A and B are shown apart, each in its own frame.
Chain A
Amino acid sequence: MASRARRVVPQTDQHGHTGVVETDTATWSPARVAELYEIGNTWLHRAHPLTKLAAVLPLSVAGFAGDTVLVPAIILAAAVLTLVVSRLGIIALKSLRLMAPMTFALVVIHGIVRPYDSEPLVAWGPISVNAGGLALAGTTAARIAVFVIAVTAAMATVHPKIFATALIQRGVSHKLAYAYLAGAELIPEMRLRATQILEAQQSRGFDTKGSLPRRLRTLFALLKPLLVSSLIGVEMRTLALESRGFSLPGRRTAAVAVRERGRLLQRSLLLASIPLLVLAVIW
C-alpha cells in the first residue's frame, strides 16, 4: 500500500534556497510531543486515518461474540501478533499497560459483587475469587482490551494533525478537530505547569510528605494554581485563536490535504459491524 497522505515540509538546499519538498506523512516527524503518536512508516501508518478508525468498530463488536473469553482472546492475540510482526510491539505494550489496572479492578469487583456457587480459588477478607468470577472478569477485560488495542493502534499511527485534517475534510467541525489536537498536547502542557507549581509550593513550605490533613492541604495548594493558571492561559489562548480566525465562518482548508481514498473500505468496515453484531447477540 503506497503512501498517499503527503506532508509538505519546507527545506533549504545547499544554496540557501528555500523550497517546498513533499515527504511522506508517515515519516514526517519533526517532534514527538503528542503522547500517543509513534513515529514510523509501517503499513499501518500509511493506511488512511479514517480506515483505521473505521476498523475499530467491527473489531470491537466481534469481541463480543460468544460468551467465553475465546473469541476476544483470539482477536487480541491476532492483534498483538500483527503489531509485533509490523514492528509496532510498543503499541501492544502501551495498550496492555493501559488495561492492567482495569483488569485487576474487574477481577476484584467480580470477586466482591458476584458470589458464585463454586468454591473460591482465593479468599482475601470479603473478596473471594472463584472460577466463574475469574472467567467473567477475564472475558470482560479481553473485550475491552480488543477495543483499547484497536483504538490505540489507530491513533498511535497517525499524526494528530493529519487525523484532524482527515476529519475536517469529511465535514467534522474544525472546533471538534481543534479539541482533539489540543487534547493531544494537553498532557505535556499540564505536566509543565504542574512541575512549576510543585516547585513553587515546596519552596514555601508545602510538604509532599506528612500527615493526611497536611498532605490534603498541599494537594489543594497545588490544584488551585493549576486550575487558575490554566484558566489564565485559556483566556489568552482564546484571544490568540480569535486573532487567528478560529471563529471565522466558512470552510477550512489544509496546508497539506489528506488524499481522499478508502471510502468504500471504510463503509464496508462499518457495515461489517452489523452482521458481527447479530452474530454476537445470537451466539
Chain B
Amino acid sequence: MIHLSEVRYTYPKGGAEAIRGISLDVSMGETLFVLGHNGAGKSTMLRLFNGLLKPGSGTVTVDGTDTREVRPAQLSRTVGLVFQNPDAQLFRDRVSEEVSFGAENGSGDDDATERHERAMALLDLGSVADHNPYDLTLSWRKRVAIASVVAMGTPVLVLDEPTGGQDADGTRVLTDLISDTRRRGHGCVVVTHDVDLAFDCADRVVVLRDGKIHLEGSPMSVLGDPLLSRAGVEPSTMHQISAGIGLDPPARRVDDLEEYLAAAGG
C-alpha cells in the first residue's frame, strides 16, 4: 500500500541527511512497528508516508500514486496519520463532533455514521461523548485525536507514539485498536519506543538507525537481536528473560517459560 524505494531525505535547512536510502513496503493487513532512538529518522519517515515531506531522491508511492504528485490532504484518504500531540488537531467543542469530523472527511467502505460509531466504540469514548475535549486529561485527548482519524476509515493507519502517557485502560484500548485494524485487513504502522508493545502487537518490526534500516523482521527475531543495542533499543522483556536463563529459542509467551520451568523440574 505504501511503497518506499531508495528514499533519501535532507531537511531544507541543512544538517545531516535524515533518511539515507530506505526501501520499505507497508502491506494491507500488516502491522508494522518502527523503533529507533530520537533522531534515527522515525518522524521523518512518518511524514514521508503521507506526503507531508517529499523524498529528495527515490520514490514514495501510496496506493500506486507518487506522493510528489498530490497534496497531503488528498493522501489522507488513504493514509490516516495521528501525531503524538493531540492538541495540534482538536478543534471541535464536543468529543463526538471531533470524531464525526473525521468520519465525514473519511473514505471507508461503510457510511460516515457507522465509522463514527465504530471509532467511538473502539476508543471507548462513550462516557465522554458530550465532553469538551479540552476538559479531558492529555491521555484522553489523545484517544479522541486517534478516534477522529480512525473514523476516517483509511486503508492504512499510522500512529505516532500512541501509548505514551496512557494508563492501563488506554493501553488496552490501543492494543485492541491495533488488533481490530489487522482483523479488518487494514495496514497499521506504529512508531513507538515501547518495545514490549511491539513484541505483543507487531507482525513485522523495523529498527531505524542514522536514517537507515538497521534491523527488519519478525518481533521474535528482531527484538532479541544482539545488534539491537547499537540502535539504542532495549530487547523486549521476554527476550531479556530468555537471554538471562539461556532459553533458545526465546520465550514467546509465559506458557513457554512455564514449559521451560516444568521441564527443568521434570
Decide if A and B touch, CB cutoff 8 A. Answer: yes
Binding site for B on A (CB under 8 A): 193, 196-197, 199-209, 220-221, 224-225, 228-229, 232
Residues on A with C-beta less than 8 A from B87 are: 225, 228-229, 232
Q: Which segment of B77-85, B185-193, B253-261 sits at the interface?
A: B77-85
Please provide the 3 A-B residue pairs with the shortest distance between their CB atoms, ordered closest to farther. Answer: A207-B73, A229-B87, A200-B88
Q: Which residues of B contact A196 (CB under 8 A)?
A: 83, 85, 88
Contacts of B50 in A (CB 8 A): 203
A203 / chain B contacts, CB cutoff of 8 Å: 50, 52, 72, 76, 80-83, 149
Enumerate 14 A-B pairs (CB-CB under 8 Å) in ascending A order.
Answer: A202-B52, A202-B72, A203-B80, A203-B82, A204-B148, A204-B152, A205-B77, A206-B73, A207-B73, A208-B73, A224-B91, A225-B89, A228-B91, A232-B87
User: B151: nearest residue on chain A (CB-CB)?
Assistant: A204
Min Cβ gap B57→A in Å is 22
Q: Are B71 and A207 in contact (CB under 8 A)?
A: yes
Pair A204/B105 contact, Cβ less than 8 Å: yes
Contact present for A205 and B90 (CB under 8 Å): no
Chain B nearest CB, measured from A215 CB (Å): 11
Interface size on B, residues (CB 8 A): 26
Choice from A193, A209, A224, A225 contacting B71 with Cβ under 8 Å = A209
Closest B residue to A232 by CB, please name it. Answer: B87
Contact assessment for A202 and B76 in the assembled complex, using a CB-CB cutoff below 8 Å? yes
Residues of B within 8 A of A207 (CB): 71, 73-74
B80 A204 Cβ-Cβ under 8 A:
yes
Q: Is the CB of A205 within 8 A of B91?
A: no
- Please tell me if the beta carbons of B89 and A201 are within 8 angstroms of each other in the complex: yes
CB of B119 to closest CB in A, whole Å: 12
Taking a contact as CB atoms under 8 Å apart, the answer to whether A204 and B102 are in contact is: yes
Main secondary structure of the interface of A (DSSP, over half): helix
Interface hub of B52, B76, B88 (most chain A Cβ within 10 A):
B88
Chain A residue nearest in CB terms to B149: A204
B47 at the interface (CB under 8 A from A): yes
Inter-chain CA distance A203–B89, complex, in Å, is: 10
CB-CB under 8 A for A221 and B72, given A196-B85, A199-B83, A203-B83: no
Q: Smallest CB–CB gap between B65 and chain A, Å?
A: 16
Q: How far is the CB of A181 from chain B (nearest CB, A)?
A: 24
Chain B, 85-141, CB within 8 A of any chain A CB: 85, 87-91, 102, 105-106, 134
Report how far A202 CA is from B77 CA in the complex, Å. 11
CB contact between A200 and one of B89, B102, B106, B134 (< 8 Å): that residue: B89
Contact with A along B62-75 (1 / 0, CB 8 A): 00000000011110
Q: Kindly list chain B residues whose C-beta atoms are within 8 Å of the C-beta of A224.
A: 91
> With a CB–CB cut-off of 8 A, which chain A residues contact B106?
205
Which residue of B has the minimal Cβ distance to A218? B73
Interface residues of B in 12-61 (CB under 8 A from A): 47, 50, 52
Chain B, residue nearest A220 (CB): B91
Give A206 to B50 CA distance when docked, in angstroms: 13
Complex Cα distance A162/B148, Å?
A: 47
A207 to B80, CA, bound (A): 14
Instruction: Please measure, in the bound complex, the distance between the C-alpha atom of A200 and the C-alpha atom of B102, giving whole angstroms.
Output: 12
Question: Which chain A residue has the least Cβ–Cβ distance from B93?
Answer: A224
Smallest Cβ distance from B230 to chain A, in angstroms?
Answer: 29
Which A residues are in CB contact (< 8 Å) with B52?
Answer: 199, 202-203
Residue on B nearest A197 in the bound complex, by CB: B88
User: Which residues of B have CB within 8 Å of A209?
Assistant: 71, 73
Give Cα A207–Cα B105 distance, bound, in whole angstroms: 11
Residues of A within 8 A of B88 (CB): 193, 196-197, 199-201, 225, 229
B-side contacts of A199, CB under 8 Å: 47, 52, 83, 88
Q: Are B76 and A228 in contact (CB under 8 A)?
A: no
Q: Which of A204, A220, A228 has its CB near the most chain B CB atoms (within 10 A)?
A: A204
A48 to B173, CA, bound (A): 60
Q: Are A204 and B89 in contact (CB under 8 A)?
A: yes
Q: For residue A225, which residues in chain B have a CB less than 8 angstroms away from its CB?
A: 87-91
Minimal beta-carbon separation of B90 from chain A (angstroms): 6
